[in-house]
Structure formats: C-alpha cells, structure tokens
C-alpha cells in the first residue's frame, strides 16, 4: 500500500517537473550573472579560477555562512555521539592487514601534501579549500583504518580549526576597516596566473582548507571512537 501511494505521488511530481523542464533548452547559454563573473572576474579579483572568485570574493559572505553550517554539523556529531560514562569495554578490533598498515604510513604524508597543494592553488587550478580539506580528512580516515591504536591530538585539531575560522573572519573584518565593505580585496592583486596573486583569496582558502580538514578529521575521529 505504501509503495503504491509513493509511486503515485512521485509520478505526479515527475509529470509536473517534466512539463516545466521541457521548456529549458539544454546546452544553450542562458546566464546573466555568470556572464558578468566570466567577463570581469579576472580583472576584479585577480583569480583565474572564476568559481573561486565567486565562492570567496563575490559571495564570500555566503561562504562564511556555509562554513558556519559545517561547523554546527561537526559540533552536532560530537554532541550526539558523546557518551556520558565511558564504557571501558575491551572490544577486540581486528588488526589491519599488512598492506593497509604499511601503505597508510607511506601514503599519509603524500595525501596531506596533495590536499595542501589543492587548497594553496585554489585560485589557479580546479580545487580550493573545501576540496583540499576533504582530501586531508580522507588521509586521516586512511590513517585510522591502518593504524587503529593511534589517535590524533584532538585539542590541536580544534585549535587549528578555530584558527582557520578566525583568520577567515579577521580577513573579512580588515576589509571592512580598510575599505568600505566586508571581505574587500585589500591586498595587491598581482599578476594573474601566478601563485602570489588574487589578494586575500589564497589567504582565505588556506584558512578554509585547514578548518575543513581538521573539522572533518574530528568528525571521523568521533565516529570511530564511538564504534569502538
């Protein structure tokens, strides 16, 4: 009965969507705001990656809100999973295989390096703070799977996360003090396509990379601690 009701309901929604989507031509240029960003983006912000200039510069305030949502979700995971009394059950965890436990030690610094590369070059190549942070968190996941007895230093991870958030907000507020509006690009923009260019964008993306990486690593740590 439930299946039939669901299918009927979904097909009604599907018909409505098909009727409206059929009007949208696929692949035709239909951008208005996007055209401005592509035309003026490099000149305005100095970043050759237009998506980065949208995320960090034009819509930087929204990104601040998004980072807040991520932070609240991470805090929520910690708050939900926290156990009032730590049950010291000696659960036997199976030891990781030789390939995994050797490979994780070998690959861990390399994955960290890749993540750092991704968020340092966020204004030039595909990538940025969020992607680089996710790559760094995946390195910690591999580390936890390979070397199960080891733990990251939680206080240091939280300090790094708070530092990242602080750098983001202080950079934005400095723009407000020096210029007229929050997150003004007050540093010199430099020559496009070089590493030291685009003003405050690399600074913010490095801060975001550290923040997202340590945040997601903390989430992984919370979940693994709970499952043991």
* Under rule CB under 8 A, residue 24 binds other proteins: yes
**Candidate segments 18-26, 94-102, 104-112, 162-170, binder of other proteins by CB under 8 A:** 18-26
**Candidate segments 4-12, 97-105, 140-148, 151-159, binder of other proteins by CB under 8 A:** 4-12
Site for other proteins in 175-204 (CB under 8 A): 192-193
* Under rule CB under 8 A, residue 45 binds other proteins: no
Site for other proteins in 73-92 (CB under 8 A): 73-74, 76-77, 80-81
Q: Largest Cα–Cα distance of the chain, in whole Å? A: 65
**Candidate segments 100-108, 129-137, 159-167, 178-186, binder of other proteins by CB under 8 A:** 129-137
- Residue 207 tokens, joined: 């801060």
Least distance to other proteins from the beta carbon of 163, Å? Answer: 19
Instruction: Measure Cα distances from 57 to 79, 117, 149, 182, 203 in Å.
Output: 33, 20, 42, 10, 12
Query: CB of 105 within 8 A of CB of 146?
Result: yes
The DSSP call for residue 123 is T
* Under rule CB under 8 A, residue 152 binds other proteins: no
Cβ neighbours of residue 217 closer than 8 Å, sequence gap 6 or more: 136, 137, 140, 152, 157
Least distance to other proteins from the beta carbon of 113, Å? Answer: 21
Query: CB of 220 within 8 A of CB of 140?
Result: yes
- Residue 43 tokens, joined: 């000149």
Shortest CA distance to 170 belongs to which of 213, 199, 202, 203? Answer: 203
Question: Can you tell me the distance from the alpha carbon of 161 to that of 175, in angstroms, rounded to the nearest whole number?
Answer: 22
* Under rule CB under 8 A, residue 31 binds other proteins: yes
* Under rule CB under 8 A, residue 14 binds other proteins: yes
The H or E element spanning position 164 is: helix 154-178
Residue ranges binding other proteins (CB under 8 A): 2-3, 6-7, 9-10, 13-14, 17, 21-22, 24, 26-31, 33-34, 37-39, 41-42, 48-51, 54-55, 59, 62-63, 66, 69-70, 73-74, 76-77, 80-81, 124-126, 128, 130-131, 134, 192-193, 212, 216, 219, 222-223, 226-227
């Amino acid at each position: 009965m439930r299946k039939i009701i669901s299918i009927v309901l979904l097909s009604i929604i599907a018909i409505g969507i098909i009727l409206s989507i059929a009007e949208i031509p696929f692949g035709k240029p239909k951008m208005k705001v996007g055209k401005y960003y592509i035309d003026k983006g490099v000149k305005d912000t100095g970043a050759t990656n237009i998506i980065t200039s949208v995320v960090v510069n034009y819509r930087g305030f929204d990104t601040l809100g998004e980072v807040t949502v991520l932070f609240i979700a991470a805090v929520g995971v910690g708050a939900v999973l926290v156990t009032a009394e730590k049950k010291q059950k000696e659960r036997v965890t199976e030891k990781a295989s030789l390939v995994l436990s050797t490979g994780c030690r070998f690959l861990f610094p390399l994955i960290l390096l890749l993540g750092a590369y991704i968020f340092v070059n966020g204004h030039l190549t595909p990538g940025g703070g969020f992607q680089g942070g996710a790559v760094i968190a995946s390195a910690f996941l591999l580390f936890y799977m390979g070397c199960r007895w080891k733990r990251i230093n939680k206080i240091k991870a939280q300090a790094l996360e708070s530092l990242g958030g602080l750098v983001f907000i202080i950079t934005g507020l400095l723009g407000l003090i020096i210029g007229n509006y929050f997150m003004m690009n007050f540093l010199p923009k430099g020559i496009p396509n070089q590493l030291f260019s685009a003003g405050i964008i690399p600074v913010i993306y490095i801060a975001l990379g550290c923040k997202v990486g340590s945040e997601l690593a903390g989430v992984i740590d919370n979940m693994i601690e709970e499952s043991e």
